[in-house]
Amino acid sequence: MSERLQPGDVAPAFTLPDADGTEVSLSDHKGRKVIVYFYPAALTPGCTKQACDFTDNLELLAGAGYEVIGISPDKPEKLAKFRDKESLKVTLLADPDKQVLESYGAYGEKKLYGKTVVGVIRSTVIVDEEGKVERALYNVKATGHVAKIIKDLGV
């Protein structure tokens, strides 16, 4: 199981395809703050709620200097369907090999309906302008999480 990130850690570098198959790297965002959130699956109720919440608050977050990237193990084609169906404005990246999920501590054992399973741990990592972890939140709830981030960041 992967280690969870701590504030001050260097955020693991990544390059993943977006919903259109275009490669996006964390380094593309150097000099800007990035909210990287990890979710289990596109087109599911909780993940849709979370992605819509980020989209609804994107202007507010961008105004405060934050960019938002969502990462799941879905393939780009499914992400494109998700984006188009829900009119999402956040950047969605595909990590079918789960290497980035693991490097961020967002994949491993979790409790699901009282059972221990291995899967995506709904997580949010806020990366500062220098590429360091500002905050790392694990086992977050899909509903109300974006509002909590906005409040915690003082946006």
Does 44 fall in a domain? Answer: yes
Q: Strands 23-25, 33-38: parallel, antiparallel or unpaired by DSSP?
A: unpaired
Burial tier of 2 (Cβ tally within 10 Å: 0-12, 13-18, 19+): middle
Q: What is the pLDDT of residue 2?
A: 59
Q: Strands 33-38, 123-127: parallel, antiparallel or unpaired by DSSP?
A: antiparallel
Q: What is the pLDDT of residue 113?
A: 83
Active site residue 52: no
Does 42 fall in a domain? Answer: yes
Does 2 fall in a domain? Answer: no
CA distance 132 to 116: 31
Does 119 fall in a domain? Answer: yes
Cβ-Cβ contacts under 8 Å for 45 (sequence gap 6 or more): none
Does 153 fall in a domain? Answer: no
Q: What is the pLDDT of residue 61?
A: 96
The CATH code of the domain that includes 64 is 3.40.30.10
Does 56 fall in a domain? Answer: yes
**Positions in the chain whose pLDDT score sits under 50:** 1
Range of the domain at 80: 9-146
Catalytic residue among 47, 125, 126, 140: 47
Q: What is the pLDDT of residue 112?
A: 78
SS3 call for 95: coil
Q: What is the pLDDT of residue 132?
A: 96
Q: What is the pLDDT of residue 59?
A: 96
Does 78 fall in a domain? Answer: yes
Alpha helices in 22-114 (DSSP H): 45-56, 58-63, 76-86, 99-103
Does 100 fall in a domain? Answer: yes
Q: What is the pLDDT of residue 110?
A: 86
Burial tier of 82 (Cβ tally within 10 Å: 0-12, 13-18, 19+): buried
Give the number of domains in the chain: 1
CA distance 76 to 17: 7
Q: What is the pLDDT of residue 111?
A: 81
